[in-house]
Amino acid sequence: MSEQITPVSEEELHAYVDGTLSEERRAEVERALEQNPDLATRISDYFSLNSMFHERYDRVLNEPVPKRLQPGAPRRSRVAANWPQFAGMAAALVMGIGIGVGTHMGRDTLPSVVGSSDTRPVSADSTEVLARQAAVAHVVYMPAVDRPTDMNADHEQDFVKWLASRLGTNVHPPMLSKAGFALSGGRLLPGPDGDTAQFMYRGQNGERVTLCISRRKVNANTTAFKLYQDGPVNVFYWVDGDFGYAVSGGIDRKQLLQLSHDVYSQLTAAAPPSS
């Protein structure tokens, strides 16, 4: 084998791939690789393997952490207790994620939050993180509401009360029935900057829209609507004082923008709902 005539040890080859060789030794390994195409191929494959691991599994880092994996969280989440359908939704999430991603994205990846060349961020400021999370959450959680689960008044009230305590403010899911969308569920997602409330809506033709609201650590000035796009999912997002909002859906952008305006006007009560 050609490897035997190279002065580079097997151990050093791996250390080269893993970036732990000294500068000097690295140069020597590179010279050896130049003279040995087979070895160079092998080493390049090892590099490829490492990048494939990241490409394949880094997405897990951006998935919302399930309740059961949150240390200190009560064994049974309070949401599930107050709102039994959540238990079913969580199960559906676990089972349905592969399917959901397949059908909604039409490709093999979750809307990968890091370095996906398919994403076209409109701007790179910190609020965009919310938009990205919202897009991910939209795709990840929407399969859970395949069965229309109309939120009845009692559940809704429990949830709203519970949300209020978690987010430290009164949050009422806006009503989008005028635009043809009915509230079908809600959940609280853990995020790096704290919890995000997610409301799910269904349209008359089964189209889905989600609204994410998260409390921001840094109070920012109110911003204009911005668009974030990831595959077929459009997200309009904006910041209003302490809160960031994101409306996501795989629907026509104009319609989504109209919904975003409805949400905005209801949440701020600054203006009567347009339309």
Partner 1 sequence: MDVRDELMEHVPRLRRYARALINNRDLADDLVQDTLERALGRTEMFQAGTDLRAWLFTIMHNVFANQARKASSRAVHVAVDDESVHESEFAVPAQQSRSLEMRDLDYALQRLPVEQREVVLLVGLEEMSYADVALALNVPIGTVMSRLSRGRERLRALMAGSQPGAKLQVVR
- Verify binding: residue 157, partner 1, rule CB under 8 A: no
Closest CB to partner 1 among 60 and 218?
A: 60
Interface with partner 1 in residues 190-219 (CB under 8 A)? none
Q: What angle do CA 255, 260, 262 make, to 5 degrees?
A: 95
Closest CB to partner 1 among 2 and 177?
A: 2
3-state secondary structure of 15: helix
Interface with partner 1 in residues 65-104 (CB under 8 A)? 65-66, 68-72, 94, 97
Contacts of 179 (CB under 8 A, 6+ apart): 255, 258, 259, 262, 275
Residue 55 C-beta: closest distance to partner 1, Å:
7
- Verify binding: residue 108, partner 1, rule CB under 8 A: yes
Interface with partner 1 in residues 37-56 (CB under 8 A)? 38, 41-42, 44-56
* Residue bearing tokens 């599930």: 80
Helix or strand (DSSP H, E) at 92: helix 85-105
Q: What 8-state DSSP symbol labels residue 120?
A: B
Q: What angle do CA 51, 102, 107 make, to 5 degrees?
A: 45
Closest CB to partner 1 among 75 and 254?
A: 75
Q: State how far Cα 23 lies from the chain centre.
A: 39
Pairing of strands 226-230, 208-215: unpaired
Closest CB to partner 1 among 70 and 123?
A: 70
Which residues of this chain interact with partner 1, rule CB under 8 A? 10-11, 14-15, 18, 20, 38, 41-42, 44-58, 60-63, 65-66, 68-72, 94, 97, 107-109
